Structure 1
Amino acid sequence: MRGAIIGLSGNAEKLLAPAFLTAGHEAACLCGDLLELEQAGRLFPRAAAYEDSETMFSKEGRLDFALVRCAPERRFKAALRALENRLHVICETPFCFSSSDLEELRGLASKNGLVLAALQPWERSSAWLALEKILNGGLLGKVRWAEVQLLLPGPAPAGGITAAAGWPAFSMLLGAVRLPPTALAARLTPSPEPGGAPGDSAAAFQVHFSGADGFVHLLSGSHAARTRLAAAGEKGRVDLDGGILRLDINGVPPETILMRDSLSDAADQPERLAGELRDFSLEIEKKLPPGSGLRNARYCVKLLKNAYYSVAVKSAAVPL
């Protein structure tokens, strides 16, 4: 398929070209700022380059899909314009911060017979697959408690760490608890000024479920990228800390397993992105059920929106 890449920042140089090649797609055009286009042009010499998406959409007539990976606050508009131009869309997360925006995208995709999908490459890591096997096998029993810690190196991302890392952290938590969330309490540090843009470098959330409690901690300025997920039920406990998985099940000696990778590694590995692009193609070809590429999206958006609301009203818990 012929695709447009909207947004070329971050690790685009080592990630996009091998991922597109592995997935069997052509990057027909690129959209980004001038410096990004100059750098990416070396990797995609045959791709047309545009500094704005409106010009790209008006001039490019033979595109199948758009990969949206621009700044989080610009992704909703970019995805909407791509869908309006009859393109399938796959987005880095988060690509919207309200349920109404998500439903607008989903409604337009459905109306035009298009696929809308979210990139969640951590679900392709051996660490996540091992965790899923434990949860699917019922080894923990009913999960009553879960916690996700996501640490990022360097300064806080533009827009705050909640905007940058809240979606993957919430999705991991939902994947562990496997219940719909009912309420949320949030704390952002520093807390945004009334009417001001978020710039949080750390965040803590308590997510209430019917019969379970979940906790998420986000931190920038760490010495290294690190993701930890722990969960416990009446039969046992699992702790996935980086690439080390610890399993303690009732009646079985505790195990410690060294994984090939970690949840933090997945975002920088071209083969994970290629896998997401292949499944995106399968959904377009109707070989996967509709909505397969929007795992946990509805609840992730709800949690993000209500995280900011909880902080604004200084609420102990905001019902979802």
Structure 2
Amino acid sequence: MEILDINVMRGPNYWSIYRHKLIVMKLDIGELENKPTNQIEGFADRLESMFPTMYEHHCSEGKDGGFFFRVKEGTWMGHVIEHIALEIQMLAGMDVRFGRTRNTGEKGIYYIVFSYMEEDAGIFAAESAVRIAQALINGDEYDIEHDIQELREIREVERLGPSTGSIVEEAESRGIPCMRLNRNSLVLLGYGVNQKRVQATTTSNTSSIAVDIAGDKEETKFLLNKANIPIPKGLIVNNIYSLESAVEELGFPLVIKPVNGNHGNGATINIRTKDAALDGYRAAEKFSKTVIVERFISGYDFRMLVVNYKLVAAAKRTPAAVVGDDLPSPTT
């Protein structure tokens, strides 16, 4: 078998006006055009053994086990590859269910169409499905868990962040079409005159002044202080000498972080020694020439999401940690 082309659909398309996220693979199944699945010895049993969860694929039979029935009765390999591509994505935690296989009009060449959640995962699933089908035809061993884990890792790299993801899920639940515009979190909601763009929690309605202020910790603290909102005492430093002065004035424990930064990049907390303060400064200056040194305030860290002036969600941010008893692990 030979993959002739793979295309990614991101909006209304020839195959579906409702299902926008589709992979379209053009596949030449070669001599298998004359050899449906019921003529490949042991194929149905090997497929069912590798993918027992495919029992839930109804296919055109409209009931559990329908797809396995079609395989035993005899169907073409393009149809099987469509179902494999969907199933390995499902096993990797991606809820994808739409698929179609259609003849191109050329002998042995098919369009295999299936849904995806993340583009790169969909492309990988297409290529993997062909490899898996070939292994099943040949009766070869195949490490399916490796491909499923690869799909999980691709998804984690490519998926939208929690804020953007929540907005997209809500938009889709309201029937608002969504299209990802880049590799990051820039998303188009709606079309035409009603379209809006969002990136994380920043929208096309967000003031650029607000973004600039929120991205500058020094300016943010100044404005909060002017509004009589309590803030931790801190100083701005830009060299080792001003760092030493700040440490002397503020005392320990401390937090050192870049003035312009996000996601905790370059931040060091609960600093209790001068050596640790120097290490924290060096970590922060990798992200910003200007560094802020603050008193460390112990307590919980919450991330809150406000939509239309209402608090709709809050998450307690807990650093990754391992709890142990300082004893060697038992051997078995």
TM range, smaller chain: under 0.3
Computing the radius of gyration over CA atoms, which structure comes out larger, 1 or 2? 2
Q: Greater RCO between the two (CA within 8 Å, min separation 6)?
A: 1
* Greater fraction of residues in strand: 1
**TM-score scaled to structure 1, two decimals?**
0.22
